[in-house]
Amino acid sequence: MIHLQPQERQEVTQYIYSICSIALDQSKDYLIEGRLNPLLEATGSKSFAQFIGRAKEDRSGALNRRIIDEITTNETLFFRDAAPFDLMRYKIIPELVDRRRAAGARIPIRVWSAACSTGQEVYSLAIVLKETLADSNRYDIKILGTDISDQAVARASGGYFSDIEMGRGLGDAVRARYFTPDPKGWKIRDEIRAMATFKRLNLMSDFSGLGKFDVVFCRNVAIYFNEKDRASLFNRIEQRMERDGYLVIGAMESLTGICPQLESRRHVRSVFYQLAAPASR
């Protein structure tokens, strides 16, 4: 294994930050070495400095995309941390439906999984919506999954999962109801796949064109950003939320001091955020 040398660290970490906004301090040297060594070998690089030089020279951007695919964690499972999905089932969806029922037409529900990885969160949300809203003809449901990794987005869009992935967070009954056996492992059923779309997105780029959302899941991604970038991200997410929308972040994350216009609310074991009520005059 080629080790990251102290004199290379700043150049390497700054370059990684420049392409995906992930801030890696000295404690993450092991991660850089473990994730990127296969790429060093594949490119014939004898040092990290040489490898970064080759990435900078690659005008196609292919090597940058491979770096992003390796550095981003993509660690996920179905119904990861059950509480947010219970929050959707018993709090968020019923409230949204009650407030929009007066419209008369099909009730629109827009959900954004901002760091969807290989799709497990998106399909978990789709299953919750399917089970909670029994009469699907009454609702216009659209779920958007975005991720910075091309590889993750491609896998999420395909909707195929291995036996190991299926064993993480899914019970037998849910697997039988919403997945079909496939030579690649298991495939999400078309009725669930049709509820979702996927696209590549760097959360540090402009995403104002995505439209507005009733629910935003942005869990366990901002922990890799510095404080300035976290503030920028959540302030821009707030602008993509409907006035009565909901933001769900990771259990170990907090918006205290970052985005004051979003207020924390609690429901049973879950914390979520909504826009603060306008100050009365």
The verdict on 64 and 148 lying in the same domain is no
Which tokens hold the place of 196?
A: 């979702």
Q: Quick one: the chain helix, strand, coil %, rounded to 5?
A: 50, 20, 30
The verdict on 66 and 153 lying in the same domain is no
CATH number at residue 117: 3.40.50.150
Show the DSSP H helices in the chain as ranges. Answer: 6-20, 29-43, 48-57, 62-71, 82-87, 93-100, 120-132, 150-158, 163-166, 172-178, 190-193, 227-239
The verdict on 128 and 233 lying in the same domain is yes
The number of domains in the chain is: 2
**Interval 84-116: pLDDT, tens:** 999 999 999 999 999 887 656 789 999 999 999
User: What is the three-class DSSP state of 142?
Assistant: strand
The verdict on 124 and 199 lying in the same domain is yes
**Interval 29-63: pLDDT, tens:** 999 999 999 999 999 999 999 999 999 999 999 99
When the pLDDT of each residue in the chain is averaged and rounded to a whole number, the result is 93
The verdict on 32 and 140 lying in the same domain is no
Residue 280 falls within a domain, yes or no?
A: no
Give me the domain span that covers residue 243: 82-275
| Cβ proximity of 250 and 219 under 8 Å | yes
User: What's the pLDDT score for residue 278?
Assistant: 61
**Interval 250-266: pLDDT, tens:** 988 999 889 999 999 99
Residue 76 falls within a domain, yes or no?
A: no
**Among positive and negative, which fits the CA dihedral 206, 70, 111, 280?**
negative
Residue 12 falls within a domain, yes or no?
A: yes
Does 232 have pLDDT greater than 70?
yes
